Amino acid sequence: MAEVGSQEVARDPEVRALRAGNKRLAQELDMLNTALASACLMRRLAQPTPVSTYQHIARQAARVPVRQRCQVLRVALAAY
């Protein structure tokens, strides 16, 4: 059996798929936490609007792909 972190394990397709899935879940959790914090702030300042949601997506585009963020926030990519 190979040691964790070895090159053999890193090349294992199952390990690679699990790591990719883990990364995606971590990004989605980060998106939801950021969106929640943003929504709480917007609620205190004013009623959130669809425009503010798209502005939030644009601000976070460098960190997480727009397509993924739209899916998590349930926003039509075509509208973005």
Count Cβ atoms within 10 A of the Cβ of residue 31 and give its class: 0-12 exposed, 13-18 middle, 19 or more buried: buried
pLDDT tens digits for range 5-36: 667 677 888 988 999 999 999 988 888 878 77
In 1-80, where does DSSP find H-type helix?
7-11, 13-45, 50-60, 66-72
Its pTM surpasses 0.75: no
More confident residue, 43 or 68: 68
